[in-house]
Amino acid sequence: MRVRIRSAVALTGALALSLVAGCAKGGGAGAGANTVTYWLWDSNQLPAYQACAKGFEKENPGLDVKISQMGWADYWTKLTASFIAGTQPDVFTDHIQKFGQFADLKVLEPLDDLGINAPDYQPGLADNWIAQDGHRYGAPKDWDTVALFYNKKMAQAAGLTPQQIGSLAWNPKDGGTFEKAIAHLTVDVHGKRGDEPGFDKNHVKVYGLATGGGGDGDGQTQWSNFAASAGWSYADKKRWGTEYQYGSKTFQSVIKWYFGLAEKGYLAPLTDYSAGANPANAQVAAGKAATAFDGAWMISTYYAMKGIQVATAPTPVGPTGKRATMMNGLADSITKNAHNKQGARKWVQYLSSDACQTIVGRYGIVFPATPDGTKAAVAAYGKKGIDVTAFTEPVTDKKDFRTFSFPITDYAADVTALMAPAMQDIYGGGKSAGSLDQTNDQINLILSQ
């Protein structure tokens, strides 16, 4: 009953937002008739897109781009509010998790006539932005994968070579060589390693693996690579699935093993992440964790850590014989009530072109969606002395790697609202992985409405 009520409320709210957004006049507060307003959330990327704006303005005399940057949480709150108030930007950076809801609410402008061709971008990036109605609502912007960051000094002290870390494998029964490595990297307050007699799991000084939290319903930098390399998928279809599969025995065996690492003292406890808003990179930076799974967007952050040298390795080989990593891709979308729709179209065309994406790539912050943009980024990282092979290889090596996207389905916000506490209850509350059966039923009930 609670699920049905919440679904009804969510649908009512969505309908209200759709109606208000459809009636509101495009605002783009503070923008002139010849200005295109553009929102993004990543401050690290701001200089790169300011450079793109200069190139765009040079090619389009009379048009100016006004860029606004805000933090992740504020970004989505303000964007939703702007749709209601009619002050939405002309163009904004879109995320695949939000895309389904925005498309359903009809607050996005179709981009079918912009000439976006899938072969011009890294595999899979363009197709993700076609909604169930058959229209395109996003132009590919950049992409990221997940790899294992590790403290080189700690690895050396543990007697682990880069070759060993790069060839780790796992399974849900005994954890394989991956668990053995994580255990050996774990050190308690008395100097005992996790695989040594007398190890005190209740008083750990350095955890073998940092925590990224429970992972909500996607587990991007937590358990997703393990689940996928075990052969599991989020839903019954790659895109716009109608049934989630959190009730799968394969998935639950992965979750039981993964969070079981915390019970053994090898994985940092949930409190290390939630209590102090302490992300995985901060745990590595503080010397409290030897390794962390994290995304390509964090490369510069890890390599800028003071007093700590890091390296990267690909995700471990799973029971299927393949490695796996989520490959997420952002896009630029135009709002339905953009005040300068013609200028917005020109800006999005430029953003998705080699001209802009090569500029962005040269900053060495993210991997742009076009192959040339990606090459520019790899070269830029190389000049900084950073090897990004662990992130780029999954894109080119489909034989040994499985790449997959965020689950693209309706009601993503509802899925997160149900899965976030469910995963935390398993991680830190002692619930069994089997408790996900009920959560999965609730989610699929929502999708069936």
Give the CATH number of the domain where residue 18 resides: 3.40.190.10
Distance from C-alpha of 148 to C-alpha of 390, rounded to nearest angstrom? 8
Q: What is the pLDDT of residue 5?
A: 30
- What are 189-194's contacts with CB under 8 Å, separation 24+? 193/158, 194/264, 194/265, 194/266
Strand residues in 162-320 grouped as ranges (E): 187-188, 204-209, 289-295, 310-313
Residue 425 buriedness (CB in 10 A; 0-12 / 13-18 / 19+): middle
In which band, very low, low, confident or very high, does the pLDDT at 4 lie, cut at 50, 70 and 90?
very low
Asked whether residue 375 falls in the same domain as residue 415, the answer is no
Q: What is the pLDDT of residue 6?
A: 36
Residue with token string 């409190």: 271
Q: Which of 29-43, 60-74, 268-282 has the highest mean pLDDT?
A: 60-74
In which band, very low, low, confident or very high, does the pLDDT at 140 lie, cut at 50, 70 and 90?
very high
Residue 323 buriedness (CB in 10 A; 0-12 / 13-18 / 19+): buried
Asked whether residue 322 falls in the same domain as residue 349, the answer is no
pLDDT digits (tens, 9 = 90+) for 210-258: 999 999 999 999 999 999 999 999 999 988 889 999 999 999 999 999 9
Asked whether residue 20 falls in the same domain as residue 80, the answer is yes
In what helix (H) or strand (E) does residue 223 lie, and over which residues does it extend? Answer: none
Distance from C-alpha of 29 to C-alpha of 53, rounded to nearest angstrom? 19
Asked whether residue 263 falls in the same domain as residue 115, the answer is no
Return the structure tokens found at 290: 């030897």
Return the structure tokens found at 209: 């693996």
Asked whether residue 37 falls in the same domain as residue 126, the answer is yes
* Lowest-confidence region among 30-34, 199-203, 413-417, 432-436: 30-34
278: DSSP letter: -
* Residue 235: inside a domain: yes
Residue 189 CB neighbour total at 10 angstroms: 11
Distance from C-alpha of 243 to C-alpha of 236, rounded to nearest angstrom? 6
Asked whether residue 125 falls in the same domain as residue 231, the answer is no
Asked whether residue 102 falls in the same domain as residue 154, the answer is no
Classified as helix, coil or strand, 339 is coil
Strand residues in 165-319 grouped as ranges (E): 187-188, 204-209, 289-295, 310-313
> Measured at the alpha carbon of residue 379, what is the angle toward residues 375 and 380, in degrees to the nearest 5?
115
Phi, psi angle pair for 154, to nearest 5°: -65, -40
* Lowest-confidence region among 16-20, 63-67, 247-251: 16-20
pLDDT digits (tens, 9 = 90+) for 148-178: 999 999 999 999 999 999 999 999 999 999 9
Task: Find out whether 369 and 329 touch, Cβ atoms under 8 Å.
Answer: yes
To the nearest 10 degrees (0 to 180), the angle between helices 341-351 and 354-362 is 60
The average confidence (pLDDT) of the chain is 92
In which band, very low, low, confident or very high, does the pLDDT at 410 lie, cut at 50, 70 and 90?
confident
In which band, very low, low, confident or very high, does the pLDDT at 409 lie, cut at 50, 70 and 90?
confident
**Count of the separate structural domains present in the chain:** 2
* Residue 449: inside a domain: no
Q: What is the pLDDT of residue 184?
A: 98
Distance from C-alpha of 257 to C-alpha of 182, rounded to nearest angstrom? 13
Asked whether residue 171 falls in the same domain as residue 310, the answer is yes
Distance from C-alpha of 25 to C-alpha of 425, rounded to nearest angstrom? 44
Q: What is the pLDDT of residue 3?
A: 32
Asked whether residue 305 falls in the same domain as residue 425, the answer is yes
Percent of the chain topping pLDDT 70: 92
- What are 116-123's contacts with CB under 8 Å, separation 24+? 116/140, 116/352, 120/370, 121/369, 121/370, 121/371, 122/329, 122/369, 122/370, 122/371, 122/374, 122/395, 123/395
| Residues in CB range of 241: below 8 A, 6 or more apart | 234, 235, 407, 408, 409
Q: What is the domain extent for residue 314?
A: 146-326+411-436
* Residue 370: inside a domain: yes
- The pTM score is 0.91
* Residue 402: inside a domain: no
Asked whether residue 201 falls in the same domain as residue 301, the answer is yes
* Residue 405: inside a domain: no
Return the structure tokens found at 76: 């989505």
* Residue 48: inside a domain: yes
* Residue 404: inside a domain: no
pLDDT digits (tens, 9 = 90+) for 262-300: 999 999 999 999 655 679 999 999 999 999 999 999 999
Q: What is the pLDDT of residue 158?
A: 98
How far, in Å, are 63, 115, 293, 446 from residue 390 at the CA level? 40, 32, 12, 38
Asked whether residue 64 falls in the same domain as residue 111, the answer is yes
* Residue 441: inside a domain: no
Asked whether residue 138 falls in the same domain as residue 156, the answer is no
